[in-house]
Structure 1
Amino acid sequence: MAVPSAHEFHWQNLARLPSGRVYHTLSEVGGQMYMLGGCDTAGRPCPGMELYSPEGDRWISLPPMPTPRAGAAVAVLGKQILVVGGVGEDQSPLKVVEMYNTDEGRWRKRTSLREALMGVSITVKDGRALAVGGMGADLLPRSILQQYDLRKDVWAQLPSMLTPRYDANINLLGNKLYVAGGRQCKRPVKAFEVYDAEARSWTTLPMMPCKRSYGGVVWDTAGRLCLLGGLRQGGGHQSSKFTKNVNIFDTNQGTKTLALKTKRADFAAGFLRGRMVVAGGLGHEPSALDTVEAFHPQRKKWERLATMTFPRCSASSIVIRDRLLVVGGVNQKMRLCLNDCVFT
């Protein structure tokens, strides 16, 4: 299958955000993008919820979340958006679970988690949400796997992970849930495990090649796990260093290593029109990066693409209908970015 050339990608500036935001969560329902919570310019978690309408290129303010929060886990169950945990106004993890009905335009409280958690990773299988790991109020990582049943409004405990962690990267392939990396306290972990939903058991996979944080993670359409760049951390007193390493894990063919053109961390990443794309972030420059590159699968190399209009890091991104939307973040002056842009 032919992939587009580097010249076919371009950036388009979209409507500015109602307010600057970081640590917000993006979600898609029916081709529409929802932005939930996040921290404002003073670093306070906020309850805001906005809908981006691509038809009118405008932001629409929706009823705010009952509980202000940042870094929440979000799952889409039909026409409803489930919001789980995160960090509250007192900077502590939350156990509150709320659900927004996109048809009715209203919020409802749902059964809370058994304990307050931040850094939960979430996905959906067979109409049920699967919530993995998290960090509790004691700042210790958890190994729990929980399942939420929308019809019954109950959380059920499933067999726990082998490695406790939060902020893990997860992907569901058939009946198997892959969990890669994550953090324990402030330390990244290399653990890679898979949960078999039919056997209800966990299996250890080959550990990731290096400990890294603030890297990009892309699961491509073939189910390969791609770990991109980030801050590589050594042992002892060795300081963290930006890396351009790209490690790819294929469930059928094993692992291989590539290299980005630019060392970077804390960037936007996605799988777009047959290519892995990385944009912006931080590197060995005094300010945020605006450079963009994409991997050409036939040529087996990374190619430069059009630069971002607004350099930024700590942005949220999502791919909707062959468009990479990059929202908010911090710009080159280390101020919250109001600009929303799309890469196609």
Structure 2
Amino acid sequence: MPVPSAHEFHWQSLACLSSARVYHSLADVGGQLYSAGGCDASGQPCSTLELYSPEVDRWLSLPSMPSSRAGAGVAVLGKQLLLVGGMGKEQRPLKAVEVYYTDEGKWRKRCSLREACMGVSVTVKDGRALAVGGMGPDLLPRSVFQQYDLRKDVWALLPPMPTPRYDTSICLLGTKLYVAGGRQCKRLVKAFEVFDMETRSWSSLPSLLCKRSYSGVIWDSAGRFCWLGGLRQGGLHQSSKFTKNVNIFDTNQGVWLKSEDTVPLKTKRADFAAAIVRGRMIVAGGLGHQPSVLDSVEAFHPEKRKWERLSPMQTPRCSASSIVMRDRLLVAGGVNQVPSAAHEILYVKEEEIL
């Protein structure tokens, strides 16, 4: 199927969240969009759970989470929505694990983490949640790797990561779990490691090419890790700088592509939404050298090998939560000087939205 041209992409504003927020968790459960928790306009974590209804274009309020939290790890296990750790009141890590049963409309507290953790990265394999790393109550990074069985309601420890960290980028490809980057307190981590489910062992991969934060991360269908833009950490007596660099790691070959084989973004940016829509890498919004947040959007054309400008977002912002559903990018909340309640969708014009 040919990729769409730039003019075929279209943004549309949908119903706003019930309140402005940031660091909320979005999840697709059975084709339905849920938003859980986040920080409100006063910076406090909230317990809000909402379901977006495209039929009436509004967010429906659902039973609140037992624990207020922001930045929680989220996993979908069948019809259940699992929330793991995150930041609670007084900006402290949480150990609470809770599950929302969508068919019953009820929350249940489940087996807690062994210790409170925020910045946990979560994915799912064979109906079980895998949780990687995190920051503990002492604000130090963890190397813990654990697996949750919903049916038995139990956490089992797996071999720990070689490099302790939190806020990592993870991707499960077949029987291998890739873990890239992350943080250790104020230090950025360049470590890139992979866990083999069959041998139950960790291996080190060639490290990330530089230290930069707030990058866009995309794992494409060819098994490539695409690391886009971000804020490059300055050296001694040097300030950090926004970048438009694009680095790509090919997991099949186990190497980073050469710089001449990648194409930089048009605009230097960090803290933006990034996704693949209809075969095209998309970057939207974020922060740049400008004093205000960005509304600009770019899409990479694989045949032309260049980034093209798309129509801008209707609400400029950074730190937005985003998710791809049915080949459409949904961007909700975020920050534009203050937290935003905006909710927009990027889709191809020939299609009906949602």
| Superposition TM-score, scaled by structure 2 size | 0.95
**2:136 matches 1:133:** no
The CA deviation string for residues 171-217 of structure 1, in whole angstroms up to 9 with x for no partner, is: 00110000001111022111100000110000000001111111110
Q: Secondary structure at the match of 1:7?
A: helix
Q: Which one-letter code corresponds to 1:174 in the other structure?
A: G
**2:271 matches 1:266:** yes
Q: 1:255, CA displacement in angstroms?
A: 2.0
1:339 to 315, 339, 342: 342
What is the percent sequence identity of the aligned residues? 73
The CA deviation string for residues 293-313 of structure 1, in whole angstroms up to 9 with x for no partner, is: 011111111111111111111
Which runs of at least 4 in structure 1 moved beyond 3 Å after TM superposition?
Answer: none
The CA deviation string for residues 143-162 of structure 1, in whole angstroms up to 9 with x for no partner, is: 11000011110000000001
User: Is the 1:218–1:226 Cα contact (8 Å) retained in structure 2?
Assistant: yes
Q: Which one-letter code corresponds to 1:97 in the other structure?
A: V
User: Is the 2:143–2:164 Cα contact (8 Å) retained in structure 1?
Assistant: yes
User: Is the 2:223–2:252 Cα contact (8 Å) retained in structure 1?
Assistant: no
Q: 1:342, CA displacement in angstroms?
A: 0.4
Q: Which one-letter code corresponds to 1:114 in the other structure?
A: R
**2:114 matches 1:109:** no
The aligned runs of 1:46-65 (5 Å cut-off) are 46-65=46-65
Q: Distance in 1 between matches of 2:234 and 2:40?
A: 33
Q: Which one-letter code corresponds to 2:274 in the other structure?
A: A
The aligned runs of 1:224-263 (5 Å cut-off) are 224-253=224-253, 254-256=255-257, 257-263=262-268
Q: Distance in 2 between matches of 1:342 and 1:246?
A: 25
Q: Distance in 2 between matches of 1:193 and 1:33?
A: 31
**2:92 matches 1:92:** yes
The CA deviation string for residues 246-281 of structure 1, in whole angstroms up to 9 with x for no partner, is: 111111243223300000001111111001100000
Q: 1:235, CA displacement in angstroms?
A: 2.6
2:308 alignment partner in structure 1 = 303
Number of residues of Structure 1 aligned to a counterpart in Structure 2: 342
Q: Distance in 2 between matches of 1:248 and 1:54?
A: 36
2:282 alignment partner in structure 1 = 277
Q: Distance in 2 between matches of 1:237 and 1:318?
A: 38
1:5 alignment partner in structure 2 = 5
Q: Which one-letter code corresponds to 1:122 in the other structure?
A: V
1:38 alignment partner in structure 2 = 38
Q: Secondary structure at the match of 2:298?
A: strand
Unaligned runs of 5+ in 2: 348-354
Q: Secondary structure at the match of 2:178?
A: strand
User: Is the 1:32–1:54 Cα contact (8 Å) retained in structure 2?
Assistant: no
Q: Distance in 2 between matches of 1:162 and 1:286?
A: 39
Q: Secondary structure at the match of 1:266?
A: coil
Q: Distance in 1 between matches of 2:289 and 2:90?
A: 34
Unaligned runs of 5+ in 1: none
User: Cα RMSD between the aligned structures?
Assistant: 0.9
Q: 1:9, CA displacement in angstroms?
A: 0.3
User: Is the 2:273–2:284 Cα contact (8 Å) retained in structure 1?
Assistant: yes
